[in-house]
Amino acid sequence: MSSEPLTEKEKRDSLMITKSDWIQPEERGYFHQISPDCISKLAEVVAALSKGKVDVETAFRMYEKILRDEINDPEFLAFAIGNINELSSYIAKGKVNIRIHRNDVDELWFDVDGNNDL
Cα(57)–Cα(83) distance, integer angstroms: 15
User: Does some domain include residue 58?
Assistant: yes
- Residue 115: its pLDDT value, please? 53
User: Does some domain include residue 104?
Assistant: yes
Cα(100)–Cα(35) distance, integer angstroms: 11
User: Does some domain include residue 13?
Assistant: no
User: Does some domain include residue 108?
Assistant: yes
Cα(14)–Cα(71) distance, integer angstroms: 45
Q: Which domain holds residue 78?
A: 30-112
Number of domains within the chain: 1
Amino acid at 31: F
User: Does some domain include residue 105?
Assistant: yes
Higher pLDDT pick, 27 / 98: 98
User: Does some domain include residue 17?
Assistant: no
User: Does some domain include residue 14?
Assistant: no
User: Does some domain include residue 15?
Assistant: no
- Which tens digit of pLDDT belongs to each residue from 64-109? 999 999 999 999 999 999 999 999 999 999 999 999 999 888 899 9
Q: Which pTM does this prediction carry?
A: 0.70
Sheet containing 98-102: which strands, arranged edge to edge? 31-33, 98-102, 108-112
